[in-house]
A and B are shown apart, each in its own frame.
Chain A
């Protein structure tokens, strides 16, 4: 049992709002991919749209083309397994058909086991990655950092 879990946040801008035929194939796959994530080894939690109350958080609603995902996994390997070693890879391969280049970002960070990150946490980690590049508090698959060591009594 590890003391830290891996959190992930991703934001991306669709080429057209949900419902537009241009992104229909993507939208059709979202539920499939979420269900696949939910039953993947090492999956712990993911943000569900219905659970988000932007007004309560004091966050400006994003334009309808912007989509965000946030999730928690037991380890970097578990997340990598879902993202790159499942049918999810084929959706990633086709991302340019649906997403505007240069308008997406993904960030990884460690959370204490049992803690669920908030949308605000995720946005802060994205901002940190953008400002300082990969580091122990906000990193990427290509440049990961190990989980912190918990000091034990």
Chain B
């Protein structure tokens, strides 16, 4: 909490204290993987375009959103040729801990030790058991949302997970952490009684969780 980095993180997090601004952040997150424009966010929030723009730009100043400019397709009328200001979530992560804690460093050390000793299969088993303990959920979306995954259903019926809950460690140890996550997700589906209908599998792509959830083929 005393280093300049920590104070920047605190600035970033306090930028979300305002309820409308938090909703604006959520609206941008929900649009992913596409960026969101001011009009869409204003509409989602039920506020004016100027107010939406004010909050979006505050979130940019705080480092929580990034800006790009693009012409939006399907526009007509005056202004159609001008590129729109678009917003997406920043890749930067902000954590504020009082007093200071370093769980990420601990996770990286543990991951390296697991890889070196070849204990991956044990980790997958532990993750599966942990997932099964989460218990029942009314449907797959509720289950995934409740466990921090931000599900989004694609046209082919696959559920992509827009948030990678283990992103920083997964980047360092992809097979280990993505394998743990896969086992966890299949555990969650089993524990919720949804494993007959749904199945998690490795389906890696940049910018989202490397596991997707799809319907089991019923013969």
Residues of chain A touching chain B, judged by Cβ–Cβ distance below 8 Å, are 81, 83-87, 89-90, 92-97, 100-102, 142
Closest to B182 in A: A93
Could you list 25 A-B pairs, sorted by A, with CB under 8 Å?
A81-B206, A84-B174, A84-B175, A85-B204, A85-B206, A85-B210, A89-B174, A89-B175, A89-B202, A89-B210, A90-B202, A92-B175, A93-B120, A93-B175, A93-B178, A93-B182, A95-B175, A96-B118, A96-B120, A96-B121, A97-B121, A101-B116, A101-B118, A102-B118, A142-B172
Q: In B117-150, which residues have CB < 8 Å from any A CB?
A: 117-121
Most buried by A among B117, B118, B178: B118
Interchain CA distance A92-B174 in the complex, whole Å: 9
Most buried by B among A89, A100, A142: A89
> Does residue B179 face the partner (Cβ distance < 8 Å to A)?
yes
Q: If A85-B206, A86-B204 touch, does A95 touch B120 (CB 8 Å cutoff)?
A: yes
Closest to A99 in B: B118
Interchain CA distance A83-B178 in the complex, whole Å: 13
For B182, the chain A residues whose CB sits under 8 A away are: 93
For B121, the chain A residues whose CB sits under 8 A away are: 96-97
> Does residue B218 face the partner (Cβ distance < 8 Å to A)?
no
Q: In B66-113, which residues have CB < 8 Å from any A CB?
A: none
> Does residue B205 face the partner (Cβ distance < 8 Å to A)?
yes
Q: How far is the CB of B91 from chain A (nearest CB, A)?
A: 15
For B119, the chain A residues whose CB sits under 8 A away are: 101
For B118, the chain A residues whose CB sits under 8 A away are: 96, 100-102
Q: How far is the CB of B39 from chain A (nearest CB, A)?
A: 33
For A101, the chain B residues whose CB sits under 8 A away are: 116-119
Interchain CA distance A83-B210 in the complex, whole Å: 13
Interchain CA distance A39-B63 in the complex, whole Å: 38
Q: How far is the CB of A17 from chain B (nearest CB, A)?
A: 19
Residue from A81, A83, A93 in contact with B179 in the complex, judged by beta carbons closer than 8 Å: A93
For A83, the chain B residues whose CB sits under 8 A away are: 174
- In contact, A93 and B206 (Cβ under 8 angstroms): no
For A89, the chain B residues whose CB sits under 8 A away are: 174-175, 178, 202, 204, 210
Interchain CA distance A100-B118 in the complex, whole Å: 8
- Taken residue by residue from 182 to 219, chain B's Cβ proximity to chain A (1 for < 8 Å, 0 otherwise) reads as 10000000000000000000101110001000000000
Q: How far is the CB of A87 from chain B (nearest CB, A)?
A: 7
- In contact, B120 and A84 (Cβ under 8 angstroms): no
Interchain CA distance A94-B178 in the complex, whole Å: 11
- In contact, A84 and B204 (Cβ under 8 angstroms): yes
With A83-B174, A93-B120, A93-B179 known, 14 other A-B pairs at CB within 8 A are A81-B206, A84-B174, A84-B204, A85-B206, A87-B202, A89-B204, A89-B210, A93-B175, A93-B182, A96-B121, A100-B118, A101-B116, A101-B118, A102-B118
- In contact, B202 and A93 (Cβ under 8 angstroms): yes
Q: If A84-B204, A86-B204, A96-B121 touch, does A102 touch B116 (CB 8 Å cutoff)?
A: yes
Closest to A102 in B: B118
Closest to A90 in B: B202
Q: How far is the CB of A18 from chain B (nearest CB, A)?
A: 20
- In contact, A85 and B202 (Cβ under 8 angstroms): no
For B174, the chain A residues whose CB sits under 8 A away are: 83-84, 89, 92
Q: How far is the CB of B113 from chain A (nearest CB, A)?
A: 12
